[in-house]
Structure 1
Amino acid sequence: MSITPPITNALTIDVEDYFQVSAFAPYIQRSNWDSRECRVERNVDQILKLLAEHNVQATFFTLGWIAQRYPKLVRAIVDGGHELASHGYGHERVSDLSERQFFDDIHSAKSLLEDIGGVEVQGYRAPSFSIGSQNLWALDTLQRAGYRYSSSIYPIQHDHYGMPDAPRFAYEARDGLMEVPPTTMRMFNRNLPSSGGGYFRLLPYALSRWMLRQVNSKDASPAVFYFHPWEIDKNQPRVEGVGLKTRFRHYVNIGRMEQRLGCLLRDFRWGRMDHIFLPQSVQKASLV
């Protein structure tokens, strides 16, 4: 009797620093980024060590702004056998950009990452999952810029992003361009976020593990999990003056995050987005 091997899930990291988080934009001017203490190198190095300990390869959606200032970080990602992907250049929400501005952002980021990393960049993730029903033209722009997949449409209801009616699993959004959404679990006639970020830090680990296992077993689909380097950095400088909700979302359980990631790497099989999703055909879905 043959035993079905466990599903390989996609582990993804959005490479940005704490002061570049969209929720902090009202409190930290973009022009002041260079004067802030940058901790992304230390945090990514720690993540790379953790992945190596568990023999896991992942996808790093990396800002062009970071790559330009820390090229050794980019080369360390590639040398570790991980996928180098794009998070845009300057962490600007797609919903705040014109089509021309968006093309310039994703084209410059792709070119910069490829020049530094020496590999083709095929994937893109929008800052704050900022592609949705109001700006689906962005999918055409990604296709035109030469990307093969996006992971930018989160099929949930959220106060800052989300497209609840979007497909839950990988689909061909445009000819030659796949959309690979962050993972949700269907329950109570709605999509519940089950793919990392602040939800993973907030919820008990056992609940997050159960939700991912439900997706693997009941939906028979790979999960897409994401987190940020600043989420393992309990000593990051605190941003003053932020609202209670923002402060809670950003800092909750940061001190426990690295330990939880270790558990996650042990409890599931993980791999790169391109290795999991690009070789296979996916069901066609239409977003217009």
Structure 2
Amino acid sequence: MSALTVDVEDYFHVAAFENNIKSSDWPKMPVRVEQNTYRLLEMFAEQQAQATFFLLGWVAERYPQLVRAIHEAGHEVASHGYNHTKATQQSRSEFAADVTDTKKLLEDITGAAVFGYRAPSFSIDKTNEWAFAELKAAGYLYSSSTYPVKHDLYGTPDWPQQPYMRPEGIWECPMPILNLAGKQLPVAGGGYFRLLPYWLSKRLINRYLNSSSSPYMFYFHPWEIDPGQPRIRDASAKSKFRHYVNLGKMEAKLTALLQDYQWNTVKQVFDRYHQQP
């Protein structure tokens, strides 16, 4: 079993557009996340796949029925923070309030405990390791907030590549990378999955499965199956390429991925890693 994860945010929440769209403008934007996430629930049901949905509190507060539908379908509801503010852009007290309030919001909607957290843009690193202590204090059992690669927006290349217990008492399950030719290659999905042909992504995933002692984990966003989403025309060429490349091919690629592997929640797949210490 591999872990299937969805970071539930809309196209206007993404870090690539944070300089173009203010959070105060979000209520005016055409919302696509609800319909896209329901489509994912249909696709997962068709392929008998279970997933962990890391939900923004902003989305959950406006669409509680969507959160309940995710939970009632047997998927795991987890936290992605409230409004996609990077952990590196928050003070310790702001972060503590964010992760605590979002966890309570999700638990109030579903009536079930929330165990997992993923920082927006994998934004826990050496500058804010205190975040793990705040996650532990808020009652989380695990985090999936680091990506041991070199990237211009995130990355902890010298941090562990396997799930490990943090000194603060919480498990960190980093995104999977493939060590190849002296390089740490990202193989966890996202924009790389849209960019590469499916046969190559599958080859890299299989190589990871054959070489790693840890389970595989894949991530993507509901907006990635939505080629009809509004275009942010004043964004940089780099940001537009990253966000829009191969959106029209994503649903077919995702269907193939769901068929080729067995998928379950982070809670189930990484169960031995995030039991209470």
Q: What band does the TM-score fall into relative to the shorter chain?
A: over 0.9
Note the alpha carbon deviations across 1:47-80, whole angstroms, 9 max, x for none: 0000000001000000001000000110010011
CA distance in 2, matches of 1:86, 1:174: 21
CA distance in 1, matches of 2:168, 2:150: 27
Counterpart position of 1:9:
2
Q: Which amino acid aligns with 1:84?
A: V
8 Å contact kept, 1:150–1:177 = yes
- How far off its partner does 1:176 sit? 3.7
Q: Which amino acid aligns with 2:132?
A: L
Q: Say which SS state the counterpart of residue 196 (structure 1) adopts.
A: coil
- How far off its partner does 1:141 sit? 1.0
Q: Say which SS state the counterpart of residue 279 (structure 1) adopts.
A: helix
CA distance in 2, matches of 1:222, 1:207: 19
Counterpart position of 2:170:
177
Counterpart position of 2:111:
118
- How far off its partner does 1:278 sit? 2.5
Do structure 1's residue 259 and structure 2's residue 263 form an aligned pair? no
Counterpart position of 2:229:
236
CA distance in 1, matches of 2:8, 2:129: 24
Aligned residue among 75, 99, 123 for 1:130? 123
CA distance in 2, matches of 1:256, 1:280: 34
Counterpart position of 2:263:
270
Counterpart position of 1:70:
63
8 Å contact kept, 2:163–2:273 = no
8 Å contact kept, 1:143–1:174 = no
Which structure 2 segments of 5+ residues have no match? none
Counterpart position of 2:192:
199
Percent identity of paired positions between Structure 1 and Structure 2:
49
Runs of 4+ in structure 1 over 6 Å off: none
Q: Say which SS state the counterpart of residue 81 (structure 1) adopts.
A: coil
Aligned residue among 220, 227, 239 for 1:246? 239
CA distance in 2, matches of 1:173, 1:260: 35
CA distance 1:111–1:60, change in 2 (3 Å)? same
Do structure 1's residue 38 and structure 2's residue 38 form an aligned pair? no
CA distance in 2, matches of 1:155, 1:53: 33
TM-score under structure 1 length normalisation: 0.93
Counterpart position of 1:148:
141
CA distance in 2, matches of 1:220, 1:144: 30
Counting only pairs closer than 5 Å after superposition, residues 202-217 of structure 1 correspond to structure 2 as 202-217=195-210
Q: Say which SS state the counterpart of residue 110 (structure 1) adopts.
A: helix
Q: Which amino acid aligns with 1:185?
A: L
Note the alpha carbon deviations across 1:78-129, whole angstroms, 9 max, x for none: 0110000000011100000000000000000000000001111000000000
Q: Say which SS state the counterpart of residue 74 (structure 2) adopts.
A: coil
8 Å contact kept, 1:173–1:179 = yes
8 Å contact kept, 2:7–2:219 = yes
8 Å contact kept, 2:54–2:80 = yes
Aligned length: 276
- How far off its partner does 1:219 sit? 1.4
Q: Which amino acid aligns with 1:152?
A: S
Q: Say which SS state the counterpart of residue 139 (structure 1) adopts.
A: helix
Aligned residue among 152, 156, 161 for 2:154? 161
Aligned residue among 181, 197, 211 for 1:188? 181
CA distance in 2, matches of 1:141, 1:188: 37
CA distance in 1, matches of 2:188, 2:241: 19
TM-score under structure 2 length normalisation: 0.97
8 Å contact kept, 2:123–2:146 = yes
CA RMSD, Structure 1 to Structure 2 (Å)? 1.3
Q: Which amino acid aligns with 1:201?
A: R
8 Å contact kept, 1:182–1:195 = yes
Q: Which moved more, 1:16-25 or 1:218-227?
A: 218-227
Aligned residue among 44, 49, 53 for 2:42? 49
